[in-house]
Amino acid sequence: MHIKKAVYNISSPDFEKCPLPDKPEFAFIGRSNVGKSSLINMICNNEKLAKTSGSPGKTQMINHFDVVSGAFTEENKKTETIFHWYLVDLPGYGFAKVSMRSRNRWEQMIENYLRKRENLSQVFVLIDARHSPQKIDLDFLENLKKWNSPFSLVFTKSDKENQRIVSKNVKSFLEAMKKNWQFLPRHFVTSAVKKTGKDKLLAFIDETNEELGKKGKK
């Protein structure tokens, strides 16, 4: 699967002001400064699509991007299937230097979106692969369980640490999840610099869109 077009649509302060839920939606969220914007730009082949910043907390609204992707199936390698979907950049959770009032507003906005957005197909939760399991990430996953939100894990910045340590941190995170989870989610190890994990992430989005398309035809 490859991205044919990705353009900014709208930034919404509330899930009720988001675009019509007429396409599958894939949301990206993670702790502040986890490399979310860089990952989104890598996936979409556009370094300027999502705004990157060295200061955490710059994403403050629900940002929608219109994406058009194409894919050839194993059965038919001559006819390209076109998918139209939303990519959503959500505010980060964690320790951005903002007021408690602003933080509470963000948290409520994110919760409402994740619980009530009817066309939300998948939440990609970004985890910094350089660190051992963080309580804030594990706690957020517990919220997703409570809200019945479908999600996958995306370990970021794998190029910025020794690969042995990255593997150890990923394994430790999954082991920490096993304490409260019967089944572990799908996970991806990525690097926005080396484009590691890009093909696997796009293939998963492609598979999800294809399955949703089949359901819609029934």
User: For 79-91, what is the mean pLDDT?
Assistant: 90
Q: What is the mean pLDDT of residues 151-166?
A: 96
* pLDDT value at 216 more than 70: no
Inform me whether the pLDDT recorded for 164 exceeds 50. Answer: yes
Does 66 or 106 have the greater pLDDT score?
66
> What does the pLDDT read at residue 210?
87
Per-chain mean pLDDT for the chain: 88
The CATH number that domain 2-207 falls under is 3.40.50.300
3-state SS, the chain, equals CEEEEEEEEEEECCHHHCCCCCCCEEEEEEECCCCHHHHHHHHHCCCCCCCCCCCCCCCCCEEEEEEEEEECCCCCCCCCEEEEEEEEECCCECCCCCCHHHHHHHHHHHHHHHHHCCCEEEEEEEEECCCCCCHHHHHHHHHHHHHCCCEEEEEECHHHCCHHHHHHHHHHHHHHHCCCCCCCCCEEECECCCCECHHHHHHHHHHHHHHHHHHHHC
What's the rounded mean pLDDT across residues 68-93? Answer: 82
Domain ranges of the chain: 2-207
Q: Is the whole-model pTM more than 0.85?
A: yes
Amino acid at 76: N
Per residue in 11-36, pLDDT (tens digit) is 998 999 999 999 999 999 999 889 99
